[in-house]
């Protein structure tokens, strides 16, 4: 396994490189349609999980002040505050309008809130309050009369409680009686900060009526109005937990808890433990939040949290990140992780957690210091003047009361009795696994073979299977004792040893039940039911004894994370396995086969989890990898949020401007219609797959895959509804269908009823005039013409039949290969152009007969022709009549399909099987076998037929390189 250390990725981070107009976020809001609204220092955007769509507040002209100060989302509308005024965005018409108090703009709004009875309220920094109600149209602001006994300081924030409004100011919190407007200063029993008459930067009333007050530079206070009790919290206090800042900028209720944005990151108050836990990205933790000012917060229905910050952009924390704790190196702290690459973990019965890293030596954290959601202070073992390589920790094991430590250079022992680190064998290199055999004897697995250690002496154990010659030394990655056997997992399979360490058998790599799927056995673990599990480079394996032999059952679906390798295994109380892989953490249920992949988007420090770097203390599981350590209670992991909301986010005609979604009326000859799509699935937007159909014209969905846009060149006349289906690539049950667009296409002018009526009237008048003038002549010639018509009709009918017969024969000859009877290249491209113009998804199988020139040279062209005819018959039989099969040139054939594309690779394999079984009589006597190679490609949206065939040709070339007689898909 490769050991890579890079930057620590946050769950999901967005900055100007992703489309934000500014790194400084001022306000956030989630609307009813699923858009995330982001107000920045330099403009407003809506995020649909794929794109940041700009919102123009200039009403078609330059915007005087692009800074957004507050956002408030309501059913049907979003209210947007800037320093110059308040605006209303109508969700149905997608239009913006200014909101005023009479003719006056509401300048300097610092707070927007929704009152319990449904009204809205706004506050300005100058001490003005406004009320209004949302009724589906642009409201007028009504000033709120305040009854003051003294001038009001500058307002900084606003909150609406059940009985009163709360104003945060530069000199404390003021209570505004909702009914009378009486405004009074809230005096708190906090003499150390002038009874609360200091700068207040955040205030909110929670569901229990408790008032949360965030001060600028003076910490946080919780006030209970009924009891008039106040509790102040500062960093370092026992109850403050992960709170590490004295400046509070934003509150957001979160169920029974409270999210708190500070100038050193984000914390969440949990009522069940009456504590504050951190909810930060690893980059924030590495700096202990220094420079991270959380300016606003938004909460998704599924529990994910959006945090906007000043200068560092936008971050999304999934609901899993509430559970997963991370420990990373912290700049300037000696008691933090010494190195970000964690290579060994061990939880002890006394509660200590030992953490070994790649270059940072060995550290431990007692149970009491591992408080959930907080920084763990670590104690490092004194390493002395030992070699640098000895600080690479690979294996840990408790034996005879001492901790054995396998390092990159040397086997060490730590004694708790005298707190000393001793060298057991300072010369042994790269110890990767340890196993205590009792009675002072241990097995030591290294990169260079297996050793037995007794009384500080190491003796090498030769690993040679019965009846085989001695092999070169192999790396021993894992050791385990099972009943009367010892299993040594190596880089070349599994060695089974007896009690006397003699080799009983070797399990090699292969596809049979008694073989392993991968050569490296990284780890070996048994669950509470006694089942034995092996993590190998080829996947997860369950070892089962059947009689005197072992069977190795492959759980092929378990990793499914882009890498088959399983480096570490832990178990939870529900019997599920947690697998550390190079691509993330996998939860696997062997009973149901259900699996779930967790990555950095879900709170992991890094996607790479290292082999044997995992442990459990009975409550939490611990995994180490690139970036640091993660810890979590597996029973607390929430179910994934798979709610999908398919929508059209914007559209345009031809090269025109992008427009917001609305019902359309299009001309008969309208330009191409471009639409962009989203399912508003922020969790893993790259996993969303789209399909559409037009109702009533289409019954089946057209698949778009992961394409997030579609182009329609010409829609038929009439009314049409666009149905969009969104589903997840790794979850067949997560699928949502919605009507997202309605279009009416007008008929051409000559097809309108009035045009048809006018034409009918004109034709009738003309016909009558001609009839009146010519009626007499027609009567005289009627009989003669009738006789002539009958005669000519007979002649023309005979000529027409002959001509149609000749044309049909010529058409067949022009489009048919004379030797094989298949379509020729000309006919193939006619069909391809026709299908492509109809917007169909195409699949191409390009086939080449292997070594055909050798057949012609050695057996003659007559035999070569027989091979071509035989293959053409097999081709028709394998693909049927639903495709176009043609001789593309020489020994090359091409199959063009426009339906059931998913079956194309299977049909190709069936064709190869029939070709292998076929024989052709050679002109030289005897039967002649032959083979073929196939390249397959599927069209991408907007791709030309020529480009599609070129990709199929490249896939055919790969099939040739792979040894011929096989199929490859582009």
> Locate tokens 């917007």: which residue?
839
Please say if the pLDDT value at position 671 is more than 50.
Answer: yes
Give the angle subtended at the CA of 292 by the CAs of 289 and 294, to the nearest 5°: 115
pLDDT number for residue 794: 80
Residue 512 annotated to the active site: no
CA torsion, ordered 384, 389, 394, 397, to nearest 10 deg: -30
Q: Write down the mean pLDDT value for the chain.
A: 89
Kindly give the pairing relationship between strand 967-969 and strand 932-938: parallel
Q: Give tens-digit pLDDT for 53-89.
A: 998 877 655 556 789 999 999 999 999 999 999 999 9
For 6-20, 70-84, 266-280, 666-680, which range has the lowest pLDDT when averaged over its residues?
6-20
Q: Give tens-digit pLDDT for 475-529.
A: 999 999 988 899 999 998 999 999 889 999 899 898 887 889 999 999 999 998 8
**What value does the CA radius of gyration of the chain take, rounded to a whole number of Å?**
38
Give the angle subtended at the CA of 168 by the CAs of 262 and 171, to the nearest 5°: 100
Q: What is the mean predicted confidence (pLDDT) over 539-552? A: 88
> Per-residue DSSP letters for 241-288?
TT---S-EEEEEEETTEEEEEETTEEEEEETTTTEEEE---HHHHHTT
Catalytic one of 698, 891, 909, 946: 891
CB 488 within 8 A of CB 481: no
Alpha-carbon distance 797 to 359, whole Å?
A: 95
Centre a 10 Å sphere on the Cβ of residue 363 and count the other Cβ atoms it contains.
22
Q: Residue 784, exposed/middle/buried by CB under 10 A (0-12, 13-18, 19+)? A: exposed
As a whole-number percent, the residues of the chain with pLDDT over 70 amount to: 94
Q: Give tens-digit pLDDT for 422-473.
A: 999 888 889 999 999 988 899 999 999 999 998 878 899 988 877 665 666 7
Q: Give tens-digit pLDDT for 742-788.
A: 999 998 876 666 777 887 888 888 878 777 787 777 777 777 777 77
Q: What is the mean predicted confidence (pLDDT) over 625-647? A: 92
Please say if the pLDDT value at position 191 is more than 60.
Answer: yes
181 phi-psi bin (left φ>0, alpha ψ -120 to 50, beta other):
left
pLDDT number for residue 276: 93
pLDDT number for residue 70: 96
Pick 597 or 355 by higher pLDDT: 355
Q: Give tens-digit pLDDT for 367-381.
A: 999 988 899 999 999
CB 364 within 8 A of CB 352: yes
CA torsion, ordered 97, 102, 108, 112, to nearest 10 deg: -70
CA torsion, ordered 870, 875, 878, 883, to nearest 10 deg: -150
Q: Give tens-digit pLDDT for 122-146.
A: 999 999 999 999 999 999 999 999 9
pLDDT number for residue 8: 40
- Lookup: tokens for 263: 């100038």
pLDDT number for residue 449: 92
């Amino acid at each position: 396994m490769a050991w890579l250390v890079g930057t620590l990725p946050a769950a999901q981070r967005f900055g100007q490189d992703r489309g934000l107009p500014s790194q400084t976020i001022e306000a956030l809001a989630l609307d009813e349609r699923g858009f995330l609204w982001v107000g920045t220092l330099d403009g407003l955007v809506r995020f649909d999980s794929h794109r940041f769509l700009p919102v123009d507040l200039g009403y078609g002209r330059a915007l005087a002040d692009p800074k957004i100060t507050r956002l408030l989302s309501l059913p049907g509308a979003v209210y947007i505050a800037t320093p110059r005024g308040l605006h209303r965005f109508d969700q149905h018409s997608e239009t913006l309008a200014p909101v005023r108090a009479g003719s006056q703009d509401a300048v300097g709004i610092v707070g927007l809130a929704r009152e319990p009875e449904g009204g809205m309220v706004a506050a300005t920094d100058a001490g003005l309050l406004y009320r209004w109600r949302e009724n589906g149209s642009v409201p007028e602001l009504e000033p709120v009369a305040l009854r003051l006994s003294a001038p009001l300081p500058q307002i900084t924030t606003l909150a609406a409680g059940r009985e009163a409004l709360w104003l945060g100011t530069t000199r404390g919190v003021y209570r505004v009686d909702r009914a009378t407007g009486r405004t009074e200063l809230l005096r708190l029993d906090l003499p150390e900060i002038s009874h609360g008459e200091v700068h207040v930067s955040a205030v909110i009333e929670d569901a229990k009526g408790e008032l949360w007050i965030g001060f600028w530079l003076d910490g946080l206070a919780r006030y209970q109005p009924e009891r008039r009790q106040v509790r102040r919290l500062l960093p370092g206090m026992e109850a403050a937990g992960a709170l590490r800042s004295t400046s509070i900028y934003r509150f957001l209720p979160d169920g029974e808890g409270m999210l708190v944005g500070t100038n050193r990151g984000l914390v969440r108050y949990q009522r069940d433990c009456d504590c504050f836990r951190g909810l930060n990205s690893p980059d924030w933790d590495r700096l202990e939040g220094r420079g991270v000012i959380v300016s606003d917060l938004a909460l998704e229905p599924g529990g994910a949290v959006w945090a906007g910050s000043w200068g560092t952009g936008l971050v999304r924390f999934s609901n899993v990140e509430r559970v997963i704790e991370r420990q990373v190196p912290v700049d300037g702290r000696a008691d933090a992780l010494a190195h970000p690459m964690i290579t060994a973990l061990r939880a002890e019965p006394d509660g200590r957690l030992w953490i070994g890293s790649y270059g940072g030596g060995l550290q431990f954290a007692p149970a009491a210091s591992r408080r959930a959601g907080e920084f763990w202070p670590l104690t490092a073992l004194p390493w002395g003047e030992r070699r640098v390589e000895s600080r690479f920790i690979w294996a840990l094991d408790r034996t005879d009361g001492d901790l054995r430590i396998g390092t990159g250079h040397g086997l060490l022992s730590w004694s708790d009795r005298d707190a000393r680190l001793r060298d057991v064998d300072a010369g042994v290199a790269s110890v990767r696994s340890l196993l205590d055999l009792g009675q002072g004897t241990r097995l030591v697995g290294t990169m260079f073979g297996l050793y037995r250690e007794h009384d500080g002496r190491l003796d090498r154990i030769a690993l040679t299977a019965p009846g085989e010659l001695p092999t070169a030394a192999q790396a021993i990655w894992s050791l385990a004792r099972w009943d009367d056997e010892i299993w040594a997992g190596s880089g070349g399979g599994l060695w089974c040893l007896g009690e006397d360490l003699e080799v009983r058998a070797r399990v090699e790599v292969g596809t049979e039940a008694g073989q392993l799927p991968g050569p490296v056995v990284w780890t070996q673990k048994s669950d509470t039911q006694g089942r034995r599990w092996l993590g190998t480079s080829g996947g997860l394996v369950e070892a089962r004894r059947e009689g005197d032999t072992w069977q190795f059952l492959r759980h092929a679906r378990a990793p499914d994370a882009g890498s088959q390798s399983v480096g570490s295994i832990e178990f939870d109380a529900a019997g599920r396995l947690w697998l550390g892989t190079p691509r993330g953490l996998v939860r696997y249920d062997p009973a149901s086969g259900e699996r779930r992949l967790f990555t950095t988007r879900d709170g992991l420090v890094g996607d790479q989890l290292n082999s044997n770097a995992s442990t459990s203390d009975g409550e939490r599981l611990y995994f180490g990898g690139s970036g640091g350590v993660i810890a979590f209670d597996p029973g607390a992991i929430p179910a994934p949020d798979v709610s999908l909301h398919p929508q059209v986010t914007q559209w345009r005609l031809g090269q025109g401007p992008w427009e917001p979604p609305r019902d359309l009326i299009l001309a008969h000859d309208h330009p191409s219609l471009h639409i962009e799509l989203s399912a508003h699935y922020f969790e893993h937007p790259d996993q969303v797959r789209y399909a559409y159909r037009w109702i009533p014209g289409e019954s089946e969905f057209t698949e778009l895959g992961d394409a997030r846009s579609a182009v329609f060149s010409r829609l038929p006349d009439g009314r049409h509804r666009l149905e969009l289906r969104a589903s997840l690539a790794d979850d067949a049950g997560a699928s949502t269908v919605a009507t997202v667009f309605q279009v009416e296409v007008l008929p051409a002018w000559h097809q309108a009823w009035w045009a048809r009526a006018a034409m009918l009237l004109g034709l009738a008048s003309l016909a009558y005039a001609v009839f009146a003038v010519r009626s007499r002549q027609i009567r005289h010639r009627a009989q003669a013409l009738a006789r002539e018509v009958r005669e000519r009709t007979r002649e023309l009918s005979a000529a027409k039949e002959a001509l149609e017969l000749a044309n049909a024969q010529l058409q067949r000859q022009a489009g048919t290969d004379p030797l094989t009877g298949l379509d020729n290249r000309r006919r193939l491209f006619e069909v391809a152009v026709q299908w492509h113009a109809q917007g169909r998804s195409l699949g191409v199988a390009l086939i080449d007969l292997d070594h055909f020139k050798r057949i012609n040279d050695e057996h003659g062209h007559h035999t070569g022709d027989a091979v071509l005819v035989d293959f053409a018959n097999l081709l028709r039989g394998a693909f049927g009549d639903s495709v176009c099969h043609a001789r593309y040139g020489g020994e090359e054939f091409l199959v063009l399909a426009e339906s059931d594309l998913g079956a194309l690779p299977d049909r190709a394999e069936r064709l190869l099987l029939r070709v292998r079984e076929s024989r052709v009589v050679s002109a030289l006597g005897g039967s002649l076998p032959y083979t073929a190679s196939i390249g397959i490609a599927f069209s991408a949206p907007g791709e030309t037929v020529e480009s599609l065939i070129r990709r199929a040709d490249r896939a055919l070339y790969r099939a040739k390189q792979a040894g011929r007689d096989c199929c490859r898909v582009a």
